[in-house]
Structure 1
Amino acid sequence: MQYIWINGNSDQGVSPDNRALAFGDGLFETMLLSGDCISHYQLHLHRLMDGCRRLDIPFSQATAESDFKLALAVVENSAHKFWRLKYIVSRGATGTGYFCDNTVVPERIMLLEPFTRDVCALQQYGVTVIPCRWQLSHQPALAGMKHLNRLDQVMARQEWSSSDIFEGLTADSEGNWIEGTMSNLFVVEKGGSVITPRLDNCGVAGVMRHVVMNTLCPKIGLLVEEKNISTFESADEIFLTNSLIGIVPVTRLADKTYKIGQITRSLQRALNTRESGL
């Protein structure tokens, strides 16, 4: 079951000269919906609009808000508990050539489908992760954004096919580990310090990463340091985050096993409390 809207219409197609298709010229958000709400809605909206500003895409926040209401209307009347919403903003359709002027009208593509993955099992038992050979490209002007150019992630994801492997970690050309192909990375060092990679040159500044750094860690009395991570020798705990899976512990990275530690569990509890409204 999948619902698709193009520019707010369910019976409209995408033009073949759409710049999202031709050049990856745009942004996207992937959100978790449940009941009558979008999890971490304001953070997703803020990141989307900030990305549009950075890419100079003249997109209206009111348009996004109107589109999201279409998705919520479906979810509210559904028997499914959780839904996955992918929202794409393209600079628009311009024909051939990279140049476009400021008369181009942005276009939106919205895909909604039930989210049925057993996230609770991932969070409880942890996952196996591998280091990828593919290196992330440096481009400081695009760092942090969830733009449509995802070839680095596509190529890294081709490095494994086993269902036993949940995720692959990617480093940059300088050997610093940055993130997973679909997740952000956190390390709890021996002694209890929580660190996450710097995203100055590449990587996606995830919404759940923001929540962990700015809400959950302060709530339990911890500070997160952004720093380069070139090795996991000092790691006592490792966990991954994104908006769909929440906080998922890593129990194996390559040939080394890791415990699901107290800090990871404390952050999971803090997130559950936040999301349940308690």
Structure 2
Amino acid sequence: MRWALGVEYRGNRFAGWQRQPDCQTVQSHLEKAIEAIAGHPVAVHAAGRTDRGVHASMQVVHVDVEVHRPEMAWVRGVNSFMSDDVAVMWARPVDERFHARFSAIKRHYRYFIYSHPVRPTLLAGQVGWLHQKLDLSLMQEAAGLLLGEHDFSAFRSSECQAKSPVKNLELLNVALASTQPSNGVLVEVQATANAFLHHMVRNLVGALIHVGTQKVQPGWVKEVLDGKDRHKAAPMFAAEGLYLAGVLYPDEYALPTWNTTGRLAW
């Protein structure tokens, strides 16, 4: 029987999502917990692999099990075998056509930038920190130039294994999330696409910060995009502020990851 699970995790103490020898990863941690309930070895497949330090407020996975258990066994039962860094939020039975990665239509990410002269303490490990001030209007102008279907090679990791660098970026929004004490500012970048290249969101954020700190004009991002040369783009920004925040699937699966307005249902 195949189950789809919605998973939330803090990525700070994990070496990323993907199972690795001699490393603690989210995948291996979750598999061990599911095996404790299923009573046999399992392989968990995710909508997307996250890097070391990257978080998820809505990762979606699927797993095949040979035993019948109630829905809560795959939520509360599995959670009882995991650390406080990871939690299954929901579980739904799905047919064998469903695949957490290949059935997905869109992915959504959120990135939080903390702009403050002093590094954060309470927000440490949860945000990307920048000691400089940001011009959000310039960042939003630059973001608009990146929307649509493009070859995003300039924002792609050299280790990316995607067959094509062409992706459809339908949302890239920059907004003030909150103002913190002592003149700190929390900025949120939201990005939605049919799929993302390895490090693409962090590279996009790095480019927007380059604009927001007025090192370059907004039009520079279009030049970088058209040039398709990663070496001419801005440095990649930190992993800690990045969250996989939602995955959209066809309506037939009725999974609680996205609502009808396109905003995240979490």
Question: Is the TM-score greater than 0.5?
Answer: no
TM-score tier after normalising by the smaller chain length: under 0.3
Relative to the length of structure 1, the TM-score reads 0.25
Relative to the length of structure 2, the TM-score reads 0.25
Highest relative contact order (Cα 8 Å, sep 6+), 1 or 2? 2
